[in-house]
Amino acid sequence: MAANPLDPYVAKATDHPKISPQEKIKGVHEIIKAVKSAMLTTRAADGHMHSRAMAPAGPHEDSQLTLYFIGNNVSDKFDEIANDQHVNVSFSDHSTTNWVSYCGIARVSQDRDLIKKHWSKLTAAWFGDLKDGVHKGDENDPRVSIIEVVPDEIRYWITKSGTISQGAQVAFGAVTGHAAAPGELRTISKDEIQLTQGLNTN
């Protein structure tokens, strides 16, 4: 990702030593594990974009970048994914200012083995037992589907300074006119994603 010289914040934040794809993945995992909840953004047929909080399902392998979400397939997000598979998934850690942004393709599946792999007892609370003998709110409920988000590109910010140091850098920048960048802006490219996910085939 080439930085625009008119955006010195980004230029400075991306000016860091070469980091291996696996190191980048580790950084993404650290943020996701700390945040636990993401915003999944989809696009409706009228062009409007809608976001909602969802927790990615585990388990997670060391090289995994694909995200899995279990959802109710009668909800609007499934209609929106059917309209446009391009989605964004974002994570934000307010305690550190770290964040992750996924651009990817969403795929919907009712593969029961995959659902069972990522199912947890807490997930059932989002479905409820309708007492009709079919919609029981378990992993076999026909409403239960899994959304697989395969990334095309991942960008994330990881802070390299504590809160006090960040504040000092911003204050210094405001006084001196120098752009503050108390962390690193990293990109995992499509080529890097394809390379690393070839090492993590399920």
Q: What is the pLDDT of residues 105-148, one digit of tens each?
A: 999 999 999 999 999 888 999 999 999 999 999 999 999 999 99
Task: Please name which of 190, 186, 189, 188 lies closest in space to residue 16, comparing C-alpha atoms.
Answer: 186
Q: Is 129 a domain residue?
A: yes
Q: Is 135 a domain residue?
A: yes
Place of tokens 């392998």: 61
Q: Is 65 a domain residue?
A: yes
> What 3-state class would DSSP assign to 101?
strand
Q: Is 3 a domain residue?
A: no
Q: Is 68 a domain residue?
A: yes
- Give the pLDDT of residue 9: 52
Instruction: Read off the pLDDT of residues 13-51 as tens digits, 9 standing for 90 and up.
Output: 465 668 899 999 999 999 999 998 999 999 999 999 999
Structural domain boundaries enclosing 77: 19-161+185-197
> Would you give the distance in Å from CA 33 to the centre of its chain?
11
The rounded percent of the chain whose pLDDT value lies above 90 is: 68
Q: Is the overall model pTM greater than 0.95, yes or no? A: no
Neighbours of 84 (CB within 10 A): 15
Reading the block at residue 131, the tokens are: 């007492």
How many domains does the chain divide into? 1
Q: Is 93 a domain residue?
A: yes
Q: Is 4 a domain residue?
A: no
We report the CATH number of the domain holding residue 47 as 2.30.110.10
Q: Is 179 a domain residue?
A: no
